[in-house]
Structure formats: structure tokens, C-alpha cells
A and B are shown apart, each in its own frame.
Chain A
Amino acid sequence: MAVRWSPAAKRYTRRLAVLMAIYLAVLFTAVWLFRHDLVSGPLAWPLAIAPALPIIGVFWAVMRFIVEEKDEFIRLLIVRQCMVATGFCLTIMTVWEFLQNFDLVPPGNGGFGAAFFWFIGLGVGALYNKVTMGTAGSCA
């Protein structure tokens, strides 16, 4: 049966779409400017941080979803999803860090930071909800 999206879920999806569009635009702009050596000095700092802002916005959107969702069961599913995502992300990053500390893997993260693994963790959390609660809720 098709899942009816709550107003909070619709708002979350809209926010996510807008933030991801901004992220892609800012990221490509920043990469292009840095690759062509068009920015340096103090201006490089805010430009380097700029792509992080929409990602932080996604964290905000997820937290707002928890606050705005009226359905207590769906709220529980989102919170469980976030808990799994946080545990998944911390586990991956901790293991990775120790592998780097003992020089078993190269330094750096190749662009795959904590946020990337947290978002993957949201997917794992949705799967966990589906297996244990029978539904992933209205957001995955």
C-alpha cells in the first residue's frame, strides 16, 4: 500500500531537495574556483567552508522533521533511524582513524567524510526499521 506523506515529511523532502541543489551548485563553484587558482588568502576560507553549509542544513532539516512530525510512531522511526546512522558513522570513522593511525590505509578521506557515512547510516537505519518494525516510515 502506498505511504501517505505527512505535511512534515513533505516539508522535509522539499527542504532536502533545495539544500541538495544548493550543495551541488556551491560545491561545483568552489571546486572550479580552487582548481583554476582564482581564489586565495582569507577569501579561500569561507569559500572552502561554503559547501559544508547546505550539509549542515540537512542535519537541521532532519531535526526539524523530528520536531514537526505529529505522528508519534513515525517520529520514533525517524529517531531510531538517526540513532543507527550516528552509531554507523561513528563506528566507520573510528575504525578508519585507527587504520590510519597505524599506517594501514592512506591519510585523508578522498572526499568521504563523516556526513557521507551518516547519510549512508540513515539508509541502514531505514532498513533496520523495515526489518524490526515492518516499515521504514515516510522517509528513508
Chain B
Amino acid sequence: MKNRLKVLRAERDWSQQDLADRLDVSRQSVNAIETGKYDPSLPLAFRIAELFDMPIEAIFERD
């Protein structure tokens, strides 16, 4: 699954650790999601969407 997490994070000038702290996950999790190595669970995807105030499909899209 592709995602726009890195772009959205960069727009807010957040580091991976900043985003990780806001999502209450590890920095490794953010890095793995950004690099497409890991697809988040639905609850975490919802948390990400809520944080950026966007619908899930605006952040994640199928390959």
C-alpha cells in the first residue's frame, strides 16, 4: 500500500519522532510505514487520519 505520510509530515515540519510521539508509536513504526515496509492496522490508520484531519483514503492508496 502506498501512503503520503512522509509528505504530510514534511509539510508540518515534523520529524519521524515527532509523528511517532503524536501517534503513540515507535519511530521505527513511522519509518516502516513511510517506506512501505509495513501497512498499519485499521485502528492505527484511523489514528493517523484523525491526526492529519483527513480521510484514510486521502493518506493511503492501494498499489
Contact = CB atoms under 8 A, between A and B. Distances in A.
Do A and B truly interact? yes
Interface residues of A, number: 17
Size range of the interface on B? 10 to 19
Nearest to B41: A72
B44 interface: yes
B27 A73 contact: no
A-B CB proximity, top 10 nearest? A73-B29, A135-B28, A71-B26, A71-B25, A133-B37, A73-B38, A73-B32, A72-B41, A74-B26, A71-B29
Interface of A: 1, 3-4, 6, 70-74, 76-77, 132-135, 137-138
Interface of B: 17, 24-29, 31-33, 35, 37-38, 40-41, 44
